[in-house]
Every structure is written in structure tokens, then in C-alpha cells.
Amino acid sequence: MAQIDIADAATAGVKFTLRRPLTVLVWGALVVVFLALLIGLFGGGIVTSIVALAQSPDASPRPEAILSLIGGFLGFFCLLFLGSMVLGAVVMAAALRAELEPEKTGLAYLRFGAQELWLIGVNFVLWVVLFVAQMVMGIPLIVLMVAMGAASFGMHPGGGSAAFTGAMASALGVRLIGQLVILGVTVWLWCRLSMGPVMSFRERQFRLFESWNLTRGHAWSIFLTLLVVIVMFIGLEIVLYILGGLAMFAAITPIPGITDFQTFFSRPPGEWIGQFAPAAAIMALLMVILVGVGNAMTWTAVARLYRQIGLPGETPPAAVAAVPA
């Protein structure tokens, strides 16, 4: 049976980022630009509705203002969901392509074709499978919580605070243990099915459940590999959030009147939104880096795992370092 090199797979995304930093930033910028367009499309109306409601706390809100706010939020989240599915598959495919088909560089390995469509489909089914599995596991957990609560009340026939406290403690304990079990099983299922998107991308066919046989005996190594990736990414997040927080504080502090929040935000949105442009630019840059690097670290690692267990005789792409980003 093919063996997994955890260190090689976990650091594959880091090495790629160091070789092709501009490529990784393009992936992040694609997602952030999409979010910026959504905010530009819906943000003004949402902010105006919120400010209008906040400025008249004593008056009954007008139905049209509430409907406008709800419509803005619904439109924003619907387009966010659809766009995230499509863009998520596009940047995910770019990371898989960079590892599995490095000769197809193009514009930052980005495409939108059959491979991306298969990824959208297989990712959606994978999400449904995990969701249904959690729901199924949650049913006996609820039954057990109710039974434990009833048993606690049964131990205190007179009822009262002691019975209530015992029932709550039992329910919370069962809930905590049950949620940990559900989380563990969900992670295990994901590890077993994690090669499905890669196989679907590679073979241009729906291959989610074929991952089950391919990952047999490798779930623990896959989990450890992704755990190392997550730890490294969290370390990067901490550093960037500290630097970004300091930069945003320096950008916001000089804004006149910012310390008097109630007076400052009572002005029309057009007067103060522009003053947050430097802080918004810093936040956007942080998001570009985190989204791009997170995509590279996660899916390049998964693609490298697929190389090791699905294509064991194939050598990872070499010396792309000489190719400029």
C-alpha cells in the first residue's frame, strides 16, 4: 500500500506560495473583488436602511424600510452563496491544476470549464452527505438528552431547582460529548471522501464515493496532514491580524470625531463611509493574502496526497521555481 509523506504534503502549499506568490494573490483577489462588488451592490442600501432605523428609535419603523433591509440581506446572501460555490470551485481547481497539471499555467492556472463544473457538483454532494450524516447522528443525541433529563427529574420527584439543575447538567454533558463525537465522525468522513473532488477534477467525472476505497488505511495520515496545514495557517492568521490590526488602528485614529460614535454615525452615510477607505483597503489586502494562501495550502496539500496514494509512481512537479509568478 502506498505511504503518505505528511511533511511533504503539508508543506506543498507553502512551497508553492513561495514559488508563485503573485499567482496565489490573484486567487485571493478574485474572491475579494467579488465580495467588494456584492458590498457595492447591496451595502449602500443596507447601511442606509440601518442608519434610518437607528436615527428614529422612538418612531415605529416603516414597513417599506424593513422590507428594503430584508430584501437587501436576502439578495446579498443569495448571490454570496451562488458566487462562493462557483468561485470556490474555480480557485480550488486552480490549486489542484497547479499541482496535478503544472504545465497548464494560463492566467494563474484559472479556468472555467468541465473540471470546474464537476467540482461544483461534487463539492455540493459532499456538503449534503456531511450535513445529512450530522443530522442522522444528531437524532439519537437529542433522544439521549431528553432521556437523561427525564431521568434526572425522576430522581427528584418533588421537582424544584435541584431537578432542573440536574436535568440541565445532564443535557449539557451529553450535548458536549455528543457534539465531539459528531465532529470526529464528520472529520473522519471528510478524510475518507477528500480525494473525491480531486479524482473528479482529474478524470472529469463524478468520483466522490470512489474516494472511499482509495483512502482506506490513510484517514489518519490525511487528518494529520490537514491538521499541520491548519496549525500553520492559524499561525499566519495571528501574525497578519496583529499587523493588520495595528495598521487599521493607525488608519482610523486620525478620523475627526471618531471617538464620539453616536454623533459620528448619526451623520449621512455618504459623509463618513469614504473616511474608512484606508482601513477598508488594509482589510481587503489581508483578505486577499489569507484567502489566496489558505486556498493554496489546503488544496495543494490535498492534491499532493492524491499524488502519493492515487498516483504513487508519479513524481511531484519539480523546479517550477524558475518560472516567474
* Residue 325 scores a pLDDT above 50: no
Q: Quick one: 215 exposed, middle or buried, by C-beta within 10 A (0-12, 13-18, 19+)?
A: buried
pLDDT tens figures, 96-138: 999 999 888 888 999 999 999 999 999 999 999 999 999 998 8
Nearest to 18 by CA among 306, 302, 316, 296: 296
N-terminal to C-terminal alpha carbon distance within the chain = 36
- Asked whether the beta carbons of 119 and 89 are under 8 A apart, the reply is yes
Whether residue 1 is contained in a domain is answered as no
Which residues, at least 6 apart from 4, have a Cβ–Cβ distance to it below 8 Å? Answer: 218, 221, 222, 225, 305, 308, 309
Whether residue 177 is contained in a domain is answered as yes
Angle at 122 between CA 300 and CA 315, to 5 degrees: 30
Altogether, the residues listed in the chain come to a count of 325
Report the pLDDT value the prediction gives residue 214, as an integer from 0 to 100.
92
Lowest average pLDDT, out of 133-137, 157-161, 216-220, 247-251, goes to: 157-161
**DSSP structure string for 245-313:** HHHHHHHHTTSTTTT-HHHHHHS-HHHHTGGGHHHHHHHHHHHHHHHHHHHHHHHHHHHHHHHHHHSTT
H-type helices in the chain, by residue range? 6-10, 12-19, 21-55, 63-100, 114-155, 160-193, 195-203, 211-214, 219-252, 261-266, 269-272, 277-310
Give dist(CA 300, CA 238) in Å, integer: 22
Report the pLDDT value the prediction gives residue 321, as an integer from 0 to 100.
42
Report the pLDDT value the prediction gives residue 283, as an integer from 0 to 100.
86
pLDDT tens figures, 226-261: 999 999 999 999 999 898 888 877 777 766 656 655
Q: What average pLDDT does the segment 84-102 reach?
A: 93
Q: How many domains does the chain have?
A: 1
pLDDT tens figures, 286-320: 999 999 999 999 999 999 999 998 776 555 554 44
Residue 224: domain span: 6-322
- Asked whether the beta carbons of 23 and 325 are under 8 A apart, the reply is yes
Q: What is the pTM of this model?
A: 0.78
Give dist(CA 204, CA 128) in Å, integer: 21
The number of beta carbons lying within 10 Å of the beta carbon of residue 274 is 9
Report the pLDDT value the prediction gives residue 95, as an integer from 0 to 100.
95
Quote the radius of gyration of the chain (alpha carbons, Å): 25
Report the pLDDT value the prediction gives residue 144, as an integer from 0 to 100.
77
Report the pLDDT value the prediction gives residue 75, as an integer from 0 to 100.
79
Report the pLDDT value the prediction gives residue 179, as an integer from 0 to 100.
86
Whether residue 180 is contained in a domain is answered as yes
Report the pLDDT value the prediction gives residue 125, as an integer from 0 to 100.
95
Question: Cell 439543575 appears where?
Answer: 165
Nearest to 22 by CA among 322, 203, 288: 288
Q: Which of 214-218, 229-233, 280-284 has the highest mean pLDDT?
A: 229-233
Give dist(CA 99, CA 73) in Å, integer: 38
Which residues, at least 6 apart from 293, have a Cβ–Cβ distance to it below 8 Å? Answer: 13, 17, 24, 28, 233, 236
pLDDT tens figures, 182-207: 999 999 999 999 999 999 999 999 99
- Asked whether the beta carbons of 280 and 72 are under 8 A apart, the reply is no
Whether residue 68 is contained in a domain is answered as yes
* Averaged confidence pLDDT in the chain: 81
pLDDT tens figures, 13-40: 999 999 999 999 999 999 999 988 888 7
Question: Cell 495571528 appears where?
Answer: 238
Report the pLDDT value the prediction gives residue 320, as an integer from 0 to 100.
42
Q: What average pLDDT does the segment 7-15 reach?
A: 94
